[in-house]
């Protein structure tokens, strides 16, 4: 049976240019996608842009252009980001596409038919400047005016006709589902937040708007557009051509293996989305993972603090792979993480240049000088060689298991430890002192080359370009990379040529003042 894996990023809201948070979600998703790919899964990796809503409509109006044209431009910057980040996404969906509209309207009809959507009135204290509604306890009287306590802006009582989704009806089924599927929401700490939120009681959800027009029309009521979440979340299905359940994409990839998202939109993915799906009698995704935020120093990045680290600028300055490596290694996955140039530079120098890059270099240089630039042919493993080589084979299932539990930190720690171990092995074996024992020298070189190959395979999901560069030593390409083959201790073809490669990572010169 084929193994299928469907991973999604959030679809990004293109009201501003891409920032580090977008890059982070995408890079992590790409890590999983690439890992599953080399572990022989069929992978469907979806990302895209969420293009409807008042903000987009207004931004377009400001520029005096059609909203779709506006979206075309900005969506393109997100497509570019995917390329810049070297993502292996197999699709890029836009909520303004026909295929998406079709799916959303179909889903709407199903929900309406099942009596999960009804027409009523939405009312509340609305602040035009905040574009937000407030509850009674969030406003106060100041000299006869009602104002929002948090923003001090004026609010007015608004009543608007709106369709509602009967979210209230799904509280109990959701709680049951969480209980019977303990892995549905991750990480654990945030799962508790979701559960306590649902336990506190769910109100029906407004799912349409009359106040603006930039969106998907409600079927049979042109005055309304379908409001955000019912529109946006459905992208995960529309990309698989739902409702065509005979479609091969849908058959293979639904239910999704994992929706990877930021913690800020966890509720929508862990409450609204499964509620919609339950109501429509569609299977639920297997997992929703809400990762943390990337902070700059101690603080959340914001324009006013001037501490924004633009992923594009970082990439231009340091390269893509160092950023990917940093975000995957230095962030304790699930928690918030920090990024600073200083720490990024430390990471590049010690891990990538000194540890991995230098290992590749020292073994190849040694082999070129002492083994006629070939993978040694005559090789006889000793205990210490087999011991270090077999560790990889013995950990294959362990690593798979950790990946399935999103334990990214284990994965990268495993690699780093392997690098230390490899450098130590080469040191301890002292092949440069074995020039009168060529069998031993060859065996040490072969073993170390095998380890470099294994580690480079392991690094492929994290730093694909650099991994591929390193594998040029052995004339190996992307299609040769396979996770199971890490268990093979004689994968390299003996007597084949070893290529000298350029330095993988240049060290960053640091000022010592």
Partner RNA sequence: GGCGGGGUAGCUCAGUUGGUUAGAGCGCAGGACUCAUAAGCCUGAGGUCAGUGGUUCGAUCCCACUUCCCGCUACCA
Catalog residues that contact RNA under the rule CB under 7 A.
13, 50, 53, 55, 122, 131-133, 135, 167-168, 189-190, 192-193, 196-197, 200-203, 205-206, 227-228, 232, 263-265, 267, 330, 332, 335, 337-338, 343, 346, 349-358, 360-363, 365-366, 369, 416, 420, 423-424, 426-428, 430-433, 503-507
* Euclidean distance between CA atoms 475 and 485, whole angstroms: 16
Q: Long-range contacts of range 358-363, CB-CB < 8 Å, 24 or more positions apart?
A: 359/419, 359/422, 359/423, 359/426, 359/452, 360/452, 360/456, 360/470, 360/473, 360/501, 360/504, 361/501, 361/503, 361/504, 362/426, 363/426, 363/445, 363/448, 363/449, 363/452
CB of 258 to RNA, least distance (A): 20
Residue 363 or 492: which CB sits closer to RNA? 363
- Residue listed under structure tokens 């309207």: 105
Q: Residue 408 in contact with residue 28, Cβ under 8 Å?
A: yes
Question: In this complex, which beta carbon is closest to RNA, that of residue 243 or of residue 334?
Answer: 334
Determine contact, residues 483/456, Cβ cutoff 8 Å.
no
CB neighbour list of residue 146: distance below 8 Å, 6 or more residues apart: 125, 139, 140, 154, 155, 156, 157
Q: How far apart are CA 287 and CA 185, in angstroms?
A: 6
Least separation in angstroms between residue 286's CB and RNA is 23
Give 309's contacts (C-beta < 8 A, 6+ positions apart). Answer: 20, 296, 301, 339, 340, 341
- What is the Cα–Cα distance from 348 to 342, expressed in whole angstroms? 10
Identify whether the C-beta of residue 215 lies closer than 8 Å to the C-beta of residue 52. yes
Q: Shortest gap between Cβ of 485 and RNA (angstroms)?
A: 24
Instruction: Closer to RNA by CB, 43 or 198: give it.
Output: 198
Sign of the Cα pseudo-torsion (247, 39, 362, 345, in order): positive
Complex with RNA: residue 43 or 139, whichever CB lies closer: 139
355: its two tokens: 């540890």
Distance CA 158, CA 123 (A): 5
By beta-carbon proximity to RNA, the closer residue of 428 and 436 is 428
Q: Which is nearer to RNA, 314 or 344 (CB)?
A: 344
Distance of closest approach, residue 80 Cβ to RNA, in angstroms:
19
Closest CB 504 distance from RNA, rounded Å = 4
485 CB-near residues (< 8 Å, 6+ apart): 457, 491
| Distance in Å, CB of 244 to RNA, minimum | 26
State which residue, 86 or 358, has the beta carbon closest to RNA. Answer: 358
Shortest Å, Cβ 1 to RNA? 34
- Across-strand partners of 4? 42
Kindly state the smallest distance separating residue 329's Cβ from RNA, in Å.
Answer: 9
Our CB check for RNA shows the closer of 143 and 298 to be: 298
Please, which residue, 24 or 253, has the CB nearer to RNA?
Answer: 24
Kindly report the length of the chain.
513
Q: Read off the tokens for 348.
A: 């590049």
**CA-CA distance, 491 to 436, in Å (whole number)?**
27
Closest CB 410 distance from RNA, rounded Å: 9
Specify the residue, 285 or 431, whose C-beta has the smaller distance to RNA.
431
Q: 334 is written with which tokens?
A: 């699930």
Residue 412's nearest CA partner among 449, 463, 363 is 463
How far apart are CB 3 and RNA at their closest, in Å? 29
**337-339/294-296 β-pairing:** parallel
Smaller CB separation from RNA, 366 or 411: 366
91-94 and 42-49: which strand pairing?
A: parallel
Minimal distance, residue 38 CB to RNA, in Å = 23
Closest CA to 106 of 218, 207, 228: 218
Alpha-carbon torsion 107, 110, 114, 118, what sign?
positive
Place of tokens 């572990």: 39
Give me the least distance between CB of 182 and RNA, in Å please. 16
Pairing of strands 337-339, 185-186: unpaired
The separation between the first and the last C-alpha atoms of the chain, rounded to the nearest angstrom, is 61
Which one, 243 or 292, has the nearer CB to RNA? 292
């Amino acid at each position: 049976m084929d193994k299928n894996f469907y991973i999604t990023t959030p679809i990004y809201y293109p009201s501003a240019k891409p920032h580090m948070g977008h890059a982070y979600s995408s890079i992590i998703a790409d890590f999983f996608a690439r890992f599953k790919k080399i572990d022989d899964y069929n992978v469907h990796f979806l990302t895209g842009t969420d293009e409807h809503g008042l903000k987009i409509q207004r931004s377009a109006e400001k520029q005096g252009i059609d909203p779709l044209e506006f979206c075309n431009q900005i969506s393109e910057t997100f497509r570019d980001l995917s390329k810049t980040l070297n993502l292996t996404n197999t699709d890029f969906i836009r909520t303004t596409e026909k295929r998406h509209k079709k799916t959303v309207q179909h889903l709407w009809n199903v929900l309406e038919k099942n009596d999960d959507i009804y027409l009523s009135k939405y009312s509340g204290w609305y602040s035009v400047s905040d574009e937000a509604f407030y509850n009674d306890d969030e406003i106060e009287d100041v000299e006869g005016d009602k104002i929002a306590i948090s923003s001090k802006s004026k609010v007015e009582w608004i009543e608007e006709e709106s369709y509602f989704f009967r979210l209230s009806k799904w509280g109990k089924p959701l709680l049951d589902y969480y209980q019977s599927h303990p892995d549905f929401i991750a990480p654990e700490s945030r799962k508790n937040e979701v559960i306590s939120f649902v336990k506190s009681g769910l109100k029906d959800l407004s799912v349409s708007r009359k106040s603006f027009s930039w969106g998907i029309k409600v079927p049979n009521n042109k005055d309304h557009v379908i409001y955000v979440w019912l529109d946006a979340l459905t992208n995960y299905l529309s990309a698989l051509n739902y409702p065509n359940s005979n479609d091969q994409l849908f058959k293979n990839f639904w239910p999704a293996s994992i929706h990877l998202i930021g913690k800020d939109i966890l509720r929508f993915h862990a409450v609204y989305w499964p509620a919609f799906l339950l109501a429509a009698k569609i299977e639920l995704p297997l997992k929703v993972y809400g990762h943390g935020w990337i902070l700059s120093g101690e603080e959340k990045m914001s324009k006013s603090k001037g501490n924004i680290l633009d992923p594009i600028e970082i990439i231009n300055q340091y390269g893509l792979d160092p950023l990917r490596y940093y975000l995957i290694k230095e962030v304790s996955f699930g928690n918030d993480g920090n990024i600073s140039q200083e720490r990024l530079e430390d990471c590049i120098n010690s891990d990538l240049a000194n540890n991995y890059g230098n290992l590749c270099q020292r073994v190849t240089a040694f082999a070129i000088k002492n083994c006629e630039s070939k993978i040694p042919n005559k090789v006889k493993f000793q205990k210490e060689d087999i011991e270090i080589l077999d560790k990889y084979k013995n950990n294959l299932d362990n690593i798979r298991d950790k990946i399935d539990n999103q334990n990214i930190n284990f994965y990268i720690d495993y690699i780093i430890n392997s690098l230390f171990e490899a450098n130590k092995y080469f040191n301890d074996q002292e092949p440069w002192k074995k020039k009168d024992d060529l069998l031993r020298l060859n065996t040490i070189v072969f073993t170390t080359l095998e380890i470099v190959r294994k580690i480079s395979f392991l690094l492929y999901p994290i730093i694909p370009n650099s991994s591929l560069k390193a594998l040029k030593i052995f004339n190996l390409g992307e299609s040769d990379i396979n996770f199971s083959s890490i268990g093979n201790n004689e994968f390299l073809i003996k007597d084949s040529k070893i290529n000298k490669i350029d330095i993988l990572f240049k060290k960053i010169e640091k000022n010592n003042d």
